[in-house]
Amino acid sequence: MLKRATIEADRLMRQQGAIGELVPAAWADLVVVDGDPTQNLSMLADPKRGPLLVMKIRRVYRDTLQPA
């Protein structure tokens, strides 16, 4: 379902390769969480667990990821 919401949207708007994919030079909105959002969204309500990273159109708004 998550893939359909992004990949299909780019096709419908005739923006293939520019939106809806994580590829170089594409516009991206990205939320990184600790867990599987297809099974449980509780991590979004817990400030200690997530979201770990929020990015909208190449700008980072929140980054609590630990460097490797």
Amino acid type, 4: R
Over residues 24-32, the mean pLDDT reads: 74
Average pLDDT, whole number, for the chain? 75
Range of the domain at 39: 2-63
Q: How many domains does the structure of the chain reveal?
A: 1
Query: Residues 40, 47, 23, 20: what is their CA dihedral angle, to the nearest 10 degrees?
Result: 60
Q: Higher-confidence residue: 58 or 17?
A: 58
Residue 68: inside a domain: no
pLDDT exceeds cutoff 50 at 1? no
Confidence at residue 16, expressed as pLDDT on a 0 to 100 scale: 67
Q: What is the pLDDT of residues 40-54, one digit of tens each?
A: 888 888 877 778 888
pLDDT of 3-19, one tens digit each?
A: 555 566 666 667 666 66
Classify residue 58: in a domain, yes or no: yes
